[in-house]
Structure 1
Amino acid sequence: MKLTYFNLRARGEPARLILEQAGAEYEDHRIESPFVDVAPWVAYKPSTPYGQLPVLCDDGVEIAQSMTIARYCAAKYGLAGSNALENAQMDEVVDALSEATEKQYNAFLFEKDEAKKAELQKKFNEEVLPNLFKALEKRLGERGGEYMAANKLSWADIILYHFAAELPDKEVIKGYSKLDALFNKVANLPKIKSWVERRPASAV
């Protein structure tokens, strides 16, 4: 199994975290970040299915799209649900986090106009994030209070951990006691903790 992404966390890190937690053997193939040097990506891009990364190659078959890859790895290594309902509950959490991630990237990374960027950041911090965490805290309570779905560790919990770990304000999740407890539980899983300590340094 070979996971190809830039030398960044961003959209490649969810799959890496899932694979690490699963104890899977895989190649963490990294291309230089286009923020550092765009040439390696320009050369590699035509070989990708959609002109994007990450791409996972498993037994000679390529899979693209970051959340599809993460979902596949979760299903393969026992971090998905055991039935359609459990999978839907996990997907719901992941989709909500993915939607917020897009808004986060627009607010903090991609917007070039400084006035618009400040407006997006304000909206993200004061509206998007509180509404998201309030909803997830409620969902977590409704589903037993320990895990986001199925009363077991799943890829939805790992995606939640990744999302919160990448926020500019690392303290905000502490205002939501159930989410904070889950965040810390995932952060302290031995395989996750080991990966975070030894993974290559990157800007995002």
Structure 2
Amino acid sequence: MPEYKLVYFAFRGLGEVPRQLFSLAGVKFENVRIEDADWDAGKRPETPFGQMPVLFVDGKPIPQSFAINRYIANQYGFAGKTPFEAALVDAFADQFKVDFNTEFKKYWYVKQGDEPGDVEEMKAKHGIPARDSFFPLVVKQLKKSGSGFIVGDAVTWVDVLVANATDYITVLEKDLLNDYPEILAHKEKIHSLPGLKEWLKIRE
């Protein structure tokens, strides 16, 4: 088995889904957490793109969180059972990028105090539209699959991605997803899976 070292900041962020995927697969990995001061002091040159997370596989780096997610998923059976399923998993992940990594974060950064701005204005302009663009697509797909998983009849990395985002949203704004009970139920299902359930108890 390869030796894995996941390097990311000392918080969950973009490093959390890879951590969850390794835990779900029951695979050991070195979980390296970099403090901001260390990053500023010179860790940046160790990363291929000057960004984190980076997954080192036997010492060789893979940058970018979605590439890391796909690598782990392909290695351990979370990418979909067929090429069609794998493409559908990627499609939902890519749509997540559009709605959340591009639009929703404009609201969320302001709400968290990371950026200046009017919280309610940004919620109306970016948060609610992003929510109502993405989650209805997932609800429709969950009904179509009928398995409780987004694609097919087994967990894929997009389930982990969406459940992690759902968890993050409901912790910081518990009522924001009240109109999407199917999404909340999906999060509970994924976070109850063996391996992942145990990780959630001990993660920092």
Bin of the TM-score, shorter chain as denominator length: 0.7 to 0.9
Q: Is 1:45 paired with 2:44? A: yes
CA contact (8 A) 1:97 1:163 kept: no
Cα distance change, pair 114–157 in 1 and its aligned pair in 2 (3 A): same
Structure 2: distance between partners of 1:130 and 1:51: 33
Structure 2: distance between partners of 1:126 and 1:185: 24
Q: CA RMSD in A?
A: 1.8
**Normalising by the residue count of structure 2, what TM-score does the alignment of the two structures yield?**
0.87
**1:59 shift after superposition:** 1.7
CA contact (8 A) 1:146 1:178 kept: no
The 5-angstrom pairing of residues 117-196 of structure 1 reads: 118-167=120-169, 168-196=172-200
Question: Following superposition, which runs of at least 4 residues in structure 1 exceed 6 angstroms of deviation?
Answer: none
My pick for the range that moved more, 102-111 or 57-66, is: 102-111
Amino acid at match of 1:77: Y
Equivalent pairs counted in the alignment come to 194
Cα distance change, pair 134–95 in 1 and its aligned pair in 2 (3 A): same
Deviations 1:119-160, CA, capped at 9 Å, x for gaps = 322223432102311121012212225211121111111111
Identity of counterpart residues, as a percentage? 30
**1:105 shift after superposition:** 2.4
Deviations 1:19-55, CA, capped at 9 Å, x for gaps = 11010110001101x3xxxx31121001210000000
Structure 1: distance between partners of 2:175 and 2:76: 31
The 5-angstrom pairing of residues 95-106 of structure 1 reads: 95-102=94-101, 103-106=103-106
**Structure 2 residue runs without a partner (length 5+):** none
**Structure 1 residue runs without a partner (length 5+):** none
Structure 2: distance between partners of 1:7 and 1:194: 20
Structure 1: distance between partners of 2:109 and 2:90: 25
